[in-house]
Amino acid sequence: MVDTLDSKSSGFTAVPVRFRLSVPHTSGYLSPCCEIRNINKKGAVSGTVPFFISSWGIMANKQQFQNITVLGAGRWGTAMAIYLSRKGLAVTLQCYLSEEYEQLKKTDIAPNLPGFSCDGKITFELDLNKSIADAEIIIVAVPVAFMRSVLKRIETLASNVVIISINKGIERESLKTVPEVISEFFPKNPIAHLGGPCFPEGLLSESTPAAETLACKDDELGLALQEMFSSPSFRVYRSFDVKGVALLGALKNIYAIIAGIADGLGMYEEVTSVLVTRGLAEMKRFCQHMEISLETLYGLSGLGDLALTCYSPKSSHNKNFGKRLGKGETVADILSTMGGTVAEGYYTTKAVWEISQQSQLDLPLCNGIYQVIYENQSLKDILITLMTRPLKVED
């Protein structure tokens, strides 16, 4: 045990503070490694407060986070806000559109997530900077295409505020992942990414076991966030591969569109199995080029998310986008009638195609869907091209 007197480093200025270093306990997701002892003028201990040390600061106790702001009142953002509010956290849901805000204030039900009430537990806010004024954690659920414009509007943000992205995509202009874009604006803030095979309805269903991966480079922070998100119906695993988890969540949407096209064309089930397998092979090549761990690829955020999105009968926006293409609708018509939702795979396809062209990566499925949705090529012609390529050894 080591005792020191230090009133400045602790942040307590009214009374001297004594730190007692002790052996960490093994129970719980974080163990107290120190305690603060308040010493009165006569030298007596007036009380102790356990605290924890990590590379991102001192945490007062096990229940570290209370004030959460979710940016984006779409399906996923609203679902996450409801989920965390059910866990007793103080949640603010920031709305981008005034009509979303007005409906939520009036009915407590999100326009894009009918059937699920916010139960009077969530604060709704239209003003971005007001919504994050007291936030300890900001959860970014804004579609990637609009994310940069939202981040630009944040006036000030303390460097200890944790930023967690739950949106999936690659920025078209910069070809960066979501955490990379966020770090441009807030390089000093802790950043994490949550991704994996879960739709909003599954997250909110207490009878449906679901799981995702929380990626964070700081181990202690990752442990704390893992505990915060986890529940008996939602199991969260940890990873240090922030870029990989974010990137794979974007990639799988490309293959979900192709699976949807197959459904729209009335093809039999075998094609989905082929697409998942060969899509995974393309994702592997892309990961190797981007120096992403294969462990991440074969985890929940890679193979898990790919399988769910491709096999989903109705919940995937990306698969539904492809299904409408397969039934003969034009890209322009589909994009204009998605009712406020976004098929991120449409934008990700272009970003990945550009990377593959620059780096000469062999991604035939990605290239084929790019030609369909951006160059107006015939689905039938692309299918024939894909199936009649030179035969090869399976990789």
Instruction: Find the helix packing angle between 242-264 and 344-359, rounded to 10°.
Output: 110
Tokens standing for residue 257: 């569109």
Q: Which one is catalytic: 168, 176, 243, 252?
A: 252
Identity of the residue numbered 227: E
24 DSSP assignment? P
Tokens standing for residue 69: 């702001």
d(CA 175, CA 355): 8
Check if the beta carbon of residue 86 is closer than 8 Å to that of residue 121: yes
Check if the beta carbon of residue 80 is closer than 8 Å to that of residue 110: no
d(CA 93, CA 119): 13
CA distances from 311 to 276, 306, 316, 379 (A): 9, 8, 9, 20
Check if the beta carbon of residue 192 is closer than 8 Å to that of residue 162: yes
Active site annotation includes 252? yes
Catalytic residues: 252
